[in-house]
Amino acid sequence: MIPEDFIRYVFEERVEGIKKLADGKFGPEALIGFTRHNAAIITCGKAGANGSIKGVGFIHREEFLPETVEKLRREMQRPYVPKRALEFLLNEIYVREKIDFTKFVSLELAKKHTWENITSGNREATILFFTPPSTSYEVRCEVEVHEDDEVWEYTNAVHDTFHRPKKPRDWNRTPAYLFKIKEIYDNGESAMGVKIYP
């Protein structure tokens, strides 16, 4: 099982930050907390060794995905009200019982080095989390590219529910990555690279 300390760090504490944001209590400490979302994606391949900061998050388990995607479609049709959008995310997306803690998702917005490395054959990546002063996790993954399916729609819709663009984005330009967790290492100063999963 994915260690509870890791889930607490990367999911529960992120949800707490989003609740503060929804309540208008978003201070400097909450901003630092967003490092749980903006991780470094490390790849190696045709474009060489590369690190890129990308937003990452968990995805719902397969049995919940069709219903969740339908709810996201309906939410995307409503006028954008930031507080209501945050409440939707808290009530419908960040629901612990529905989360698959063995998989992360992210969007490819640039299609540069990360994209070239992953699509040229090396489907391995490391997600590196770091929150000052000393919390760090190294998550080694197998990567899938998703386009025009439920994983792709879920990832784009969750992104746009929070970061609603003024004009609709062309989602066909932003494929999704599905990161299947293989190993997790605690790289914090007290553990210094101890393997904690599996």
Q: Is residue 110 domain-resident?
A: yes
Q: Say how many domains are in the chain.
A: 1
The count of other CB atoms within 10 Å of the CB of residue 46 is 13
Residue 198 located in a structural domain: no
Flag whether 75 is in a domain: yes
CATH number assigned to the domain comprising residue 145: 2.30.110.10
Domain residues for 135?
4-193
pTM: 0.95
66-122, pLDDT tens digit by residue? Answer: 999 999 999 999 999 999 999 999 999 999 999 999 999 999 999 999 999 999 999
Exposure string (b/e) for 112-146, b if CB count within 10 Å is 16 or more? ebbbebbbeeebebbbbbbbeeebbbbbbbebeeb
**pLDDT tens per residue across span 128-185:** 999 999 999 999 999 999 999 999 999 999 999 988 888 889 999 999 999 999 999 9
For residue 85, the 8-state DSSP code is: H
Q: Which of 40, 37, 33 is nearest to 16 (CA)?
A: 33
Query: Within a domain: residue 108?
Result: yes
Asked whether the beta carbons of 56 and 155 are under 8 A apart, the reply is: no
121 dihedral zone (left: phi>0; alpha: psi -120 to 50; beta)? left
